Amino acid sequence: MKRFDVCPASGPGVAGSGRLVVVLQHEHLGQLSNVVVAPLFADGELEAIDRLRPVVVVDAHTYVVAVDRLAALPGRQLGSPMANLESARYELINALDFLFGGF
């Protein structure tokens, strides 16, 4: 699994079966059993927050990435990648910086 891959997640700790998540952990840490992810919420399901919850498009659907709701899920709970948000790298990294550094 690569950083910024979008995958369906299911099982304990996941709000709703098949919730889409984006992998935020670098692939160099692939030997770890858990993967740090942020959930995606359909447009209108959760409010976007400037710099903290970026808006992205996956398969022509708009989602809010809830960086403030990070989770570490066992890798086995993630399905096959269906998209990659490398094009939103800047917004996602900035959201993490804002969450942890306040800037």
pLDDT tens track for 20-69: 999 999 888 878 889 999 999 998 999 999 999 999 999 999 999 999 99
Q: What class, spelled out in words, does domain 5-101 have in CATH?
A: mainly beta
Q: In percent, how much of the chain has pLDDT > 90? A: 80
Residue with the two structure tokens 């890798």: 75
pTM attached to this predicted model: 0.92
Amino acid at 40: L
- Beta-strand ranges (E) seen in the chain are 5-9, 19-23, 34-42, 55-58, 61-65, 71-74, 83-84
Instruction: DSSP letter for 45, please.
Output: T
Residue 88 scores a pLDDT above 70 = yes
